[in-house]
Structure 1
Amino acid sequence: MPRAWLPALFLALPLAAHAEGRVRAQLVSPNQTTLSAEIAARLVELPFREGQAFTVGQTLAGFDCALFTAQRDKMEAQEELAAQGLETANKLHARGLSSDMEWHQAQSKLKETAADAQAARATASRCAIVAPFDGRVAKLGVAQYQFVTAGTPLMEIVDTRKLEVQAVVPSHWLAWLRVGDVITLRVDELKRDYQARVTRLAARIDAVSQMAPVVGEIEKTSPELLPGMSGWATFRGRR
Structure 2
Amino acid sequence: MPFKPVEPEKLSLAVIRQIEGLILRGILRPGERLPSERELSERLGVSRPSLREAIATLQGDGLLASKAGAGIFVADVLGSAFSPALTRLFARNDEAVFDYLSFRRDMEGLAAERAARLGSDTDLQVIDTVYRKMEAAHAKPSAEAEAELDADFHLAIIEASHNVIMLHMMRSMYQLLREGVFYNRQIMFKQRTTRDTLLAQHANINNALQSRDPIAARAAVVAHLSYVEQSLRDDVKAQANEAIAQQRFEHEKSRGPK
- The two structures have a TM-score, normalised by structure 2, of 0.20
Query: Which of the pair has the greater relative contact order for Cα pairs under 8 Å at 6+ separation?
Result: 1
TM (norm. structure 1) is 0.21
Higher helix share: 2
